[in-house]
Amino acid sequence: MFAGLARFVVRHPWWTILAWVVTAAAIVVLSPSLQTKSDQGDFLPSKYESIQAAKLAEKAFPQRADSTAFVVVKRADGGKITPADTTKLTQVANDLKGKNYPSVVQVATGPQTVAPNKAVQIISVGLKGQSQDDQKKQGDAIKQMRKDLPAELGSGLNAKVGGDAAGFVDNEKSFSESLALVSGGTFVIIIGLILLIFRAPIAAILPIFVILLTEMVSMKLIGAASKVFGFSGDDSLQIILTIVLFGIGADYYLFLLFRFRERLRAGDDKKTAMITTVERVGEVITSAAAAIAVTFLVLLLAAFGIFSAWGPSLAIAVLTMGVTSLTLFPALLSLLGTAVFWPSKSWKKHPKAKVSAGMGRMVGKRPALIALGSGAILIVLAFGAFSFKADYDFQSSFPQNTESAQAAKDMQKGFPPGLTTPVQVYLQSKDGKPVPKATVDKFSQQAKGLDGVGGVQPAVPGANGVTRVDLLLKKNPVSTESITFLKDDLRPAVHQITPPDTKLLVGGETAIYGDINKVVNRDLSVILPVAGVLIALILLVLLRSVVAPLYLVPIVLLGFASTLGASVMVFQGIKGEPGEIFHLPIMLYLFVLAIGTDYNILMTARLREEAKEGHEPRKAAALAVQHGGPTVAAAGLILAATFSVMLLAKVSMLQQMGFSIAIGIALAAFVMSIFLVPGITALLGHRAWWPGHADRPKQRRGPDPMEDQFATRPDMRV
């Protein structure tokens, strides 16, 4: 199969390139774009209480704001807010409302918004809309309001605008700068390291352009699939997809380039060298792409809509990259030939490979010690995963010197932290009539006495017999502690004081994150074992072995756990952070589990290839590390270094992702694939390939004139 594909692509490179370009152009022109959402709650199943509360609120409060900004006002002299100040601010609120800022539907204040200690007074600004266009309009409104406020307030009063919409305005620049840094750093590192390895600018630049084109095609294919199958993505999909494609695209490119150089060194002409390369590496790339795509498709089992939308999107991208790697890359390389390595002449020389040869000898001589040592490193790190805490406070990951961050600090001088994100309790009468005021007042008094509640806002009546009562938490409402508290303690306690003849639902952002916590834990418990089984089946088909998957799959899962544990030790332990971004385990699933499988397939294929050459198990392991190790090391180094750039970002959320994925890839490449997998395979010997025994030596048609050269001058094979 791969031999036939290789012959066609290499013998007809221009036709291959033309077919790829025409197909890509048709896809880009004819396919729709993917529609994305930004609200995390939109991706929760309707069975969860917070979503039921949100749906009830849409009907009972159709004119309600979708988000709220807060103007936090305090006296310039540090004194207490006076009645005269309150009168002044009421007029200011009316003036601001009269300016008709885009997306602003309400501006309100009054004596009830003065802090009990009179340190600050709040002007509440209701904003409508959730789309990207709406968010831009809201941002414009915040910016204009900040310009207008000094003149409106006059001397004696100072104001800062906070809230989620204001935070988005303040942090947009930090996030954009961070993403630009990551994107630029990705290009620099991929180009720089490939240039360092091959000392050839064409070899370094070529994958950037091909991967960018593949990404463009992939996004359009995903858009078409979303229309057919009815899924959507969130705003982070583009970033994740870019990282995935550059990660696996660079890997597959290196798989091809290392083997191509090997065959050229062996004396093959450029056409024969590329045909042999695709024939040998094609199975590895296909199996790896299939394993990663299946791993991503398992996300369809997720109940959380973001994850289930990522699944097909990323699977389409990976398969597209797999096709590109077996067609466009080989066609281009076969045309370029040795020119791809220009101006360096080092491709002609057989490297001494002292490091890889030394590692290979070490694995071959002491496989038990190597397996125990590398396995122990992973196990020790994996213990840290038991202490993982999810963090949902995205705002705290951004710089704290912005106006919105300062507004939040000022507001907490007079109000509980929960004022910005109240727990919204909805009371609905069973007969459809308004809930009696006495009933609501009694409920409010009882709720105010519950542990963790710092205050209760005045009740807001709505349609269909619904009344909303906002509870203000004493602690940060989106902290891990508050989310756990609401999920385990407050929500049950509120339900226990439900008034007679009413239905009660607990909603709001804290409740949504509590339900997200439940669904994410459920998804991980389903996704990981199913992915393990499917990866095992792919390995079984590839290797025709029942035994090999029995240790390869647990090794990959152990790598996932050790990566999460290492991240916990650094960020929660050393840095003392309260937790890590809640979707970090899924991110590690996407990258570490998938890439770990990628590298293991490459190394296992090389182990089998060396065994088929007639080498006994320990010798085969030594040669596999010697010849395949440099490719895994190069691919792992480039990918880990790419993610490490995220450590330079100003946003701690990106720093966590960057470190965690980088250390995971490093463990997958330099611990699992180079040491643990060859060590265990060498120990098991011929039994590792039972019952298919794909390691049986192949029959040779004649002596290989290059064999002695390979024995004495080992090269860097894939």
- Please give the backbone phi and psi of residue 127, each rounded to the nearest 5 degrees, phi first: -120, 140
Task: Identify the burial level of 311 via C-beta atoms within 10 angstroms of its C-beta, where 0-12 means exposed, 13-18 middle and 19 or more buried.
Answer: buried
Residue 105: which pLDDT band, with cuts at 50, 70 and 90? confident
Structure tokens at 231: 């899924």
Task: Identify the burial level of 180 via C-beta atoms within 10 angstroms of its C-beta, where 0-12 means exposed, 13-18 middle and 19 or more buried.
Answer: exposed
Name 691's bridge partners. 545
Whole-number Å distance between alpha carbons of 170 and 176 = 11
Q: Give the pLDDT confidence of 527-543 residue by residue, as tens digits.
A: 888 888 888 888 888 78
- Residue closest to 478 by CA, chosen among 582, 587, 584: 582
Of residues 467 and 239, more confidently modeled? 467
| Residue whose pair of structure tokens reads 């290009």 in the numeric block | 187
Distances (CA, A) of 31 to 17, 27, 239: 21, 5, 20
Cβ-Cβ contacts under 8 Å for 683 (sequence gap 6 or more):
367, 368, 371
Q: What is the 3-state secondary structure (H, E, C) of 380-415?
A: HHHHHHHHCCEECCCHHHCCCCCHHHHHHHHHCCCC
Cβ count within 10 A of residue 274 = 31
Of residues 171 and 711, more confidently modeled? 171
Please report the pLDDT score of residue 699 as a whole number.
58
> What sign has the CA pseudo-torsion 404, 406, 411, 417?
positive
Distances (CA, A) of 650 to 158, 447, 537: 28, 40, 42
Mean pLDDT of 493-518: 91
* Start-to-end Cα distance in the chain: 20
Q: Give the pLDDT confidence of 28-48 residue by residue, as tens digits.
A: 888 877 666 555 545 677 888
Q: pTM to 2 decimals?
A: 0.79
Of residues 645 and 435, more confidently modeled? 435
Please report the pLDDT score of residue 36 as a whole number.
60
ω before 150 within 30° of 0 (cis)? Answer: no
Q: Give the pLDDT confidence of 400-452 residue by residue, as tens digits.
A: 778 888 888 888 888 888 887 889 999 999 888 889 999 999 999 999 999 99
Looking at CATH, the fold of the domain delimited by 44-64+422-507 is given as Alpha-Beta Plaits (3.30.70)
Residue 707: which pLDDT band, with cuts at 50, 70 and 90? very low
Residue 545: which pLDDT band, with cuts at 50, 70 and 90? confident
Name 427's bridge partners. 467, 504
Please report the pLDDT score of residue 463 as a whole number.
87
Helix H or strand E segment including 455: strand 453-456
- Please give the backbone phi and psi of residue 325, each rounded to the nearest 5 degrees, phi first: -70, -25
Q: Which of 125-134, 187-196, 379-388 has the largest mean confidence?
A: 379-388
DSSP structural state of residue 338: G
Superfamily name and number for 351-408+528-697:
Multidrug efflux transporter AcrB transmembrane domain (1.20.1640.10)
CATH class of 1-30+199-350: mainly alpha
Please report the pLDDT score of residue 458 as a whole number.
85
Percent residues over pLDDT 70 in the chain: 92
Q: Which of 104-118, 562-576, 583-597 has the largest mean confidence?
A: 562-576
Structure tokens at 412: 């907490």
| Mean of the per-residue pLDDT values of the chain | 85
| Cα three-residue angle 398-403-408, rounded to 5 degrees | 80
| Residue whose pair of structure tokens reads 């414009």 in the numeric block | 140
Domain boundaries, the chain: 1-30+199-350, 44-64+422-507, 66-170, 351-408+528-697
Q: Give the pLDDT confidence of 189-215 residue by residue, as tens digits.
A: 888 888 888 889 999 999 999 999 999
Please report the pLDDT score of residue 168 as a whole number.
80
Please report the pLDDT score of residue 235 as a whole number.
61
Please report the pLDDT score of residue 377 as a whole number.
96
Please report the pLDDT score of residue 708 as a whole number.
39
Crossing angle between the packed helical segments 594-612 and 509-543, to the nearest 10 degrees: 10
Residue 325: which pLDDT band, with cuts at 50, 70 and 90? very high
Is residue 49 over pLDDT 60? yes
ω before 343 within 30° of 0 (cis)? Answer: yes
Is residue 130 over pLDDT 80? no
What b-and-e string marks burial along 363-374, b requiring 16 or more CB atoms within 10 Å of the CB? Answer: bbeebeebbeeb
Whole-number Å distance between alpha carbons of 230 and 695 = 45
Distances (CA, A) of 555 to 346, 372, 386, 562: 36, 12, 18, 10
Contact 593, 244 (CB under 8 A): no
Antiparallel, parallel or unpaired: β 580-581 and 390-391? parallel
User: Side-chain half-sphere of 578: how many Cα atoms within 13 Å?
Assistant: 15
Structure tokens at 661: 């994925």
What b-and-e string marks burial along 109-137, b requiring 16 or more CB atoms within 10 Å of the CB? Answer: beeebbbeebbbbbbbbbbbbbeeebbbb
Whole-number Å distance between alpha carbons of 564 and 584 = 8
Q: Give the pLDDT confidence of 671-694 residue by residue, as tens digits.
A: 999 999 999 999 999 888 888 766
Of residues 166 and 397, more confidently modeled? 166
Residue 236: which pLDDT band, with cuts at 50, 70 and 90? low
Q: Computed over its alpha carbons, how large is the radius of gyration of the chain?
A: 30
Residue 718: which pLDDT band, with cuts at 50, 70 and 90? very low
Crossing angle between the packed helical segments 547-568 and 652-667, to the nearest 10 degrees: 150
Same fold, 66-170 and 351-408+528-697: no
Residue 18: which pLDDT band, with cuts at 50, 70 and 90? very high
Structure tokens at 646: 């995220």
Whole-number Å distance between alpha carbons of 442 and 461 = 15
Looking at CATH, the fold of the domain delimited by 66-170 is given as Alpha-Beta Plaits (3.30.70)
